[in-house]
Every structure is written in C-alpha cells, then in structure tokens.
Amino acid sequence: MEQLIEFFSRLTDTSDWPPRWYCGQWSDFHGWLYITSDLMIWLAYMVIPLVLVRYLFVKKGVPLPGVFWLFGAFILLCGLTHLIDAIIFWIPIYRISALVRFLTGAVSIATVIALFRYFDEAVGLRTSKEFEHELLFRQQAVTELTRSNEELQQFAYVASHDLQSPLKTISNYLKLLHTKYGDQLPADAHKLVETSTNAAERMRVLINDLLNFSRVGNEVAFTQVNLNLLVTEILEEQQVEIRTSGATVDVGPLPTMTAHYTDFKQVFQNLISNALKYRKPSVPPYIKIRAIDEGDQFCFSISDNGIGIERQYFERVFQIFQRLHGRNEFSGTGIGLATCKKVIAIYGGQIWIESTINVGTTFNFTIPKVIKTTHHYAQTDTLYSAN
C-alpha cells in the first residue's frame, strides 16, 4: 500500500531515470526512426477511435455499442503508450507510462471478455446481403399483397353490384305491390310487405358497409386533413340526431394530419354516431372529443355518457358483424367499429376502450404523425440486387 501511495505521489517525478536518448548508444538515425514510428502509430490509433465514435453517433441503433466503446478505448490507450514512448526520449515519465500501460491492459481484458460474452449474438447479426435478401423478399410479399387486395376490392365491387341489382328489383316490386294493391291487402300482408322492405333496406346498407370496409386502406393519395373541419362536417351531417337527442358535443383543438380524408372520416363518423346512438333513455348525450400530442403520435379520445360496455366485450365489439344488442334496440350492421380498427391498424396506430356500465364509454386511439401504409413500403425503390 505504501508503495502504491508513493507511486502516485511521485507520478510526474522524472528524477529517477535519464531520458531515453542517454540510455544506451542511440544514433540519430535509430532514435528518430523509433520516435517517428511511435508518433505514426499514435496518430493512426487516435484517428480510429474518432471514426468509431462518429459512426456510433451518426448510425443510430448500432448493435453491441458497448463493444465498440471498449474497442475504441483500447485502441486509444494503445496509441497513448506509443506517444509516451516517444516523449520519454526527452522526458523520462516512466511512472505515467506504467500507469497508462496498466490501464491499457485492464481495458484490453475487458474487451476480450466482452467479445467472448457477445460472440454468439455477434454471429447472429445479419450481413448487408442478408438484409437486402430479406428486404427484397418483403417487398415482393407487399407487392403480392397489394395485388391480392386490388383483386379482392374488385371482387367486392362486382359482388356488391350483382347483389344490389336483384335487391333493388325486390324492393321496387314490393313498393309497387304496396302502391297498386295496398288497399286490397289485409293487415297481415301489409306487415309482410313492410318487413320484407325493411329487410331489403338493411341488406342494401350491409352491402354498402361491406364495400366501404373492403376499400379501407386502398387509397395512397394522402392530403392535409384538418380534423377540426372534418369533425365539424360530421356534426353538421348528424344535426338531426343531435337535435332530437338534445346532445352536447364538446370538441377540443384537433391537429391537421397528412392522411386520407375518407379513412379519417369513417373513424370519427362511426365513433361519434355510436356515442349518439348508444345513449341512456331520457338522458341527453354529452360527447367530448380530445387530442393529445405525444411526440411522434397523437392520442385521440371520444367520450360519452351512454350505456357503457361490459369489459368482457371490449375486444369483441371490434370484430366484424359482432353486435351486442338486437336490431329492435339499436340499428346497425356491426361493421362500424371493425372499420375503425382496420383504418387505425393500417395507419400504424392502436384503439382501445375504457368503459363503465351506465356511466359512459371512451374510445381511445393513436395515429402516428408520419403515416406509412403497406403501399408506401411497396413503392420503395432503394433496393439493391441480392445475389
């Protein structure tokens, strides 16, 4: 311990040794060759860590950054030993040289341990060619998925047209029957005609909703969407329901986002119409719409004071055709919330429910500020051929 204390107390003391020039018989050529070599090595060893540090700062998310830092420190200390060797020719700082060499040894052992520790993980890292191979495969998969979606959309359009044509015929004949022979039909027949007409109308709405559901996410032309104006437009369209129910709608400041107008309108329209629809008897609806900036995304919430949803149905309500109430209680096709979830999922967000029975429900959903759908990835053209 005393020797250690003495060592550090005399760390800069150079009186115990002469400069290296006076140790042995150095010729000018031999001495300057030694000094120049040490300085060249020190210079190279100084540049390498600087390049590594710059790489770590420029290239975010580099795997195993700790190994890079240890390796940089090891090279830096190795370079420092060569610099000190050159200085010793004039100033015999042997104690500082010993300390630097000890630190170099400690860091080198730590680097070796880190290399062994992370060896398996390093072997598992993919090369640039492997990444290119996977990127090419994924782009091909996205292209195929896009083609398949286009075919499904076309099929849905044709199917809806072919279904609506006979449906329209049935509806028209029922109306003609009622108009032409209504006064001759008994009460039971009037009931049958009315039931059939209502069923045909429900089928027409269902087909249109299915067609809209199939189209979600197929538009790639994004524009600036002012959500304040969009919600105002929806509320104007819902004025009859708002006035009939005596609803109050409290809308906070909403952002402007780059997205597809129709997709956003479907989300807000479905959630607002549900808040109006699922209200408590004799209680005017109170709907609150808010948006919170969370840095890289916005978190939206649409709250109401309606009948609420039981926790066991929080996931089920987002499934297509799933209804918690009969048609005699509330109208609908069971597609609205499924459409909301599909839009939000395609845009890279999440949707969830907070609800208490007979108190109200809050639908929360997040939307990234920068929206990228599969169409945007499919359009990526920065691929290199993978061999």
Q: Is residue 83 part of a domain?
A: yes
Q: What is the pLDDT of residues 311-363, one digit of tens each?
A: 888 888 888 766 665 555 666 567 788 888 988 988 889 999 999 999 999 99
Whether residues 80 and 204 share a domain: the answer is: no
Question: Which of these, 292, 345, 358, lies nearest to 318 by C-alpha position?
Answer: 345
Q: Could you give the CA distance from residue 38 to residue 52 in angstroms, rounded to a whole number?
A: 22
Q: What CATH number did the domain enclosing 148 receive?
A: 1.10.287
Residues 268 and 361 in one domain: yes
**Residue 205 and residue 241 in one domain:** no
Task: Tell which of 92, 123, 154 closes a domain.
Answer: 123
The angle at the Cα of 224, spanning 218 to 230, to the nearest 5 degrees, equals 85
**349 within 8 A of 297, measured Cβ to Cβ:** yes
Helix, strand or coil, per DSSP, at residue 257: strand
DSSP helix, strand, coil percent of the chain (3-state; round to 5)? 60, 10, 30
- 311 in Cβ contact with 355 (< 8 Å): yes
Residue 305 has pLDDT above 90, yes or no: yes
Among 194, 218, 242, where does a domain finish? 218
Instruction: List the single range of 51-60, 142-151, 208-217, 277-286 with lowest mean pLDDT.
Output: 208-217
Q: Do residue 275 and residue 347 come from a single domain?
A: yes
Interatomic CA distance for residues 170 and 176, integer angstroms: 10
* Residue 58 banded pLDDT, cuts 50, 70, 90: confident
User: Distance between CA atoms of 62 and 60, rounded to whole angstroms?
Assistant: 6
| Dihedral, CA of residue 323, residue 324, residue 329 and residue 331, to nearest 10 | -20
Q: Do 274 and 345 fall within a single domain?
A: yes
CA distances from 169 to 113, 141, 203, 224, 375 (A): 80, 42, 13, 41, 39
Name the band, by pLDDT with cuts 50, 70 and 90, for residue 385: very low
Q: Does any domain span residue 375?
A: no
The answer to whether 224 and 261 have CB atoms below 8 angstroms apart is no
Q: Among 318, 310, 316, 264, which residue's Cα sits nearest to residue 289?
A: 264
Q: In the prediction, which pLDDT does 131 show?
A: 77
Packing angle, helices 65-87 and 28-58, rounded to 10: 160
Conformation bin of residue 308: beta by default, left when phi > 0, alpha when psi is -120 to 50: left
User: What are 238-294's pLDDT values in tens digits?
Assistant: 888 999 999 999 999 999 998 888 888 889 988 999 999 888 888 999 999 999 999
